[in-house]
Structures are given as structure tokens and as C-alpha cells.
Amino acid sequence: MSEPVMSRDASARRFLFILLLGSLLLVGFVAWPLASALLLAAVLAVVLGQLHDWLSAKFGGRRGLAAGLVLFAVLLLLIVPLVSLSAVIVKEASDGARFVLETVRSEGLSGLIDWLPERLQDFLRKAFEGLGDLGQLAQKHLGEQGPKAATAVAAAIAATGGLLFELTMMLIALFFLLVRGDALLAWLDDVLPLRPSQTRELAAEFKKVSYAVIVATLLTAAVQAAAALVGYFIARVPHPLFFAGVTFFFAIIPAIGAGAVCLFAALILLATGHPYMAIFLAAWGLLVVGLIDNVVKPFLIKGDVEMGGAVVFFALIGGIAAFGMIGLLVGPLALAAFLALLRMYRRDYMRRSA
């Protein structure tokens, strides 16, 4: 082959590589708004794959029907309770904020104090009398927060709508991954510039870490709910089993956590005239229930993946800090992918060259 032809071929190869990078960036921009939904769908498809295959075999190989039943179970057991709790919280928070602001505007802080139990009324009146001008300043400040409160409520409602959209996209992606997951993996084998064994190894690593994170999250939430239930019984919280169930669901959400439910129950105790039990429950929620997540979850995950407990801990915290709630999955998956790629490179290329 002549030198001009070789030069032209090298230029075409470089230009094609640049086009490939550009198109990859464009695909990334297109997929980024749905990245959380797609990642969660992929993880759930891995975790629920065996159940889907079993149902598919029971229904004579009808994978679509089996996938529909799996989606219905996910919707019924996980998504509906979470969305319902979110809707209730948004509604109650907006009603509470509106009540506080309207009461302060019309009757002042004294009118708001009149709604509290008698044990707290005398204490708060004396406190505000001692504060003097500071109490008046607080009243004025609360009275001026109407527009900001309305904006916050609107933002919360918009966030709930965004959550519903992401969950809908996740369910659609989960359906197609359950039905056509094997075909997608075969396509990746064909198009990726990796050996089939390397692609399968990465897929196996993704599956192992996904299982570990999901199982560890559910078990940790159960442990936190059990620990919170002990605190609820000690503090004599009304309906402790209900609060334990709410604690389990909120423990799955890293952005909120189980400790928030304990603090809410402590506020109920405080408002009903049980300040010492409220202080105990708040401390129990922060120091016991809240810290369990930082101990149990890394311990459970490191048992299934080849990473130390400290490494898993920082992967979880860093992932949540960088990506929010979905970072609970992104952190360990990113670290596991890096370690798997490093292991494959050393095994398949460095040792051969040596």
C-alpha cells in the first residue's frame, strides 16, 4: 500500500474516532436527564432477573407477561408506598406552614402558642417575654415569609411531579430490560471493542455489586426500623408499629434517612407534653438509628464485593455527595467497575507483555 493511501486511511481513522467521541458525548447529553431512572432500572432488572425468568418459564416463555407481573409487584410493594408517603408529607407540610403563617399574621405568636399543650404554653410565653424585642422580630420575620413559603410548597409539588416522571421512565426501562436484556448483552458483546469474556466479566461485576447494594440497603433499613421500634416503645410513642414501618421506607432514601422519622416522633412527644422522652428519642434517632446506616451497610456490602469496609463506606458517602440519592448505587458501581477494569488489564495485557 502506497504512503498517500496509508496517510489517507490514518486520517480517516482519526476523523472517525473524533466523530465517535462527539456522538458519544451527544448520547450522554440525551441520556443524562434519564440517567438515574435508567441506572435504577438496570439494577432492578439484575436483581429481579431470576424471578422474571422463573415466571416466564411458568407462563410458557411469555416474557412480556412475566415482566408485566414483576412491574406490578414493584409498583405495588415499593413505588406506591413511597409516592404516597411523599404526597402525604408535601400536603401536611404545606398545610402546617400555611396554618403557622396565617395564625402568626392574625393573632401573633401568642395565638400560635395557644394551640400547644398547656405544659408548653407557660414555658414558651415566659421564654418570649424574656426575649422581648427578639420575640417581636421573630413574629415579624414569620409574617413576611408567606411568598417564600408558597414558593417552597410549589417547588415541593414540582419535585413530586419530577419523581413521578422518573419512576415512570424507570418502569418502562425495567420492562424492556427484563424482556430484552439478553439481546442487549449480546449486542454489547458485538459492538464493544472488548473480548466477549471481558464484557461478560463486567456484566457479572455489575450484577454482583447491584445485588450487594440492594440487599444491604433493605437489610440495613430493617435493622434501623427495628432499632427505632425499640426507641418508640421506650419513649411510648403512639402507634409504634406504624412509625417503625414509616422508618423502614424512609431508611431506604439516603437523602432523608431513618433518623428524620425519629425526630418527627420526638416533636410529637414534645408537643404532647413529654419533653424528656422527646429528648431521649431525638438522641436515640441521631446516635443509634442514624449511625447504624454508616456501620451495617458497608459491612454487608463488603461481604459480597472484593472491597474493604472503609473503601465501601467512602464510596457510599462520596457517591451520595456527588450524585444525590442515586449515588448510593453509583458510588459502589463506579469503584467496582474501576477495580474490575484494572484487574482485567493487568491479567490480559500487562502479564502478557512481561
Contacts of 1 (CB under 8 A, 6+ apart): 9
Looking at per-residue confidence, does 93 or 335 come out higher?
335
| pLDDT at position 56 over 80 | yes
| pLDDT at position 83 over 70 | no
Half-sphere exposure of 87 (CA within 13 A, CB side): 8
Distance separating alpha carbons of residues 177 and 46, to the nearest angstrom: 9
| pLDDT at position 134 over 50 | no
Looking at per-residue confidence, does 235 or 138 come out higher?
235
Q: How confident is the model at residue 135 (pLDDT cuts 50, 70, 90)?
A: very low
Distance separating alpha carbons of residues 308 and 129, to the nearest angstrom: 56
Q: How confident is the model at residue 349 (pLDDT cuts 50, 70, 90)?
A: confident
Q: Report DSSP letters for 111-155, one per residue.
A: HHHTTS-HHHHHHHHHHHHHHTHHHHHHHHHHHTTHHHHHHHHHH
Average predicted confidence (pLDDT) for the chain: 76
Distance separating alpha carbons of residues 249 and 253, to the nearest angstrom: 7
Q: How confident is the model at residue 283 (pLDDT cuts 50, 70, 90)?
A: very high
281 sits in which H/E element: helix 275-284
User: pTM of the prediction?
Assistant: 0.69
Q: Dig out the grid coordinates for 292 from the structure.
A: 447504624
Q: Are 334 and 345 in contact (CB under 8 A)?
A: no
Single out the residue of 102, 105, 106, 83 nearest to residue 94, CA to CA.
102
Mean pLDDT throughout 51-68? 89
One-letter amino acid for residue 179 of the chain: V
Looking at per-residue confidence, does 106 or 4 come out higher?
4
**Range in 17-26, 74-83, 197-206 the model is least confident about:** 74-83
| Per-residue pLDDT at 147 | 52
Mean pLDDT throughout 125-152? 50
| Per-residue pLDDT at 280 | 92
pLDDT tens for 161-178 read: 666 788 888 889 999 999
Which backbone phi and psi does 237 adopt, to 5 degrees?
Answer: -70, 135
One-letter amino acid for residue 178 of the chain: L
Q: Mutual orientation of helices 240-251 and 196-235 as an angle, nearest 10°? A: 150
Q: Given its phi and psi angles, is residue 273 left (phi above 0), alpha (psi -120 to 50 degrees) or beta?
A: left
Q: Are 136 and 104 in contact (CB under 8 A)?
A: no
| Per-residue pLDDT at 133 | 46
Which backbone phi and psi does 303 adopt, to 5 degrees?
Answer: -70, -20
| pLDDT at position 265 over 50 | yes
Distance separating alpha carbons of residues 267 and 113, to the nearest angstrom: 15
Alpha helix segments (H runs only) across 192-239: 196-235
Q: How confident is the model at residue 105 (pLDDT cuts 50, 70, 90)?
A: low
| pLDDT at position 5 over 70 | no
| pLDDT at position 23 over 50 | yes
At 102, is the secondary structure helix, strand, or coil?
Answer: helix
pLDDT tens for 220-237 read: 889 999 999 999 999 988
Own/partner long-range contacts of 22-30 (Cβ < 8 Å, ≥24 apart): none
**Range in 126-135, 214-223, 266-275 the model is least confident about:** 126-135
Q: How confident is the model at residue 2 (pLDDT cuts 50, 70, 90)?
A: low
| Per-residue pLDDT at 224 | 92
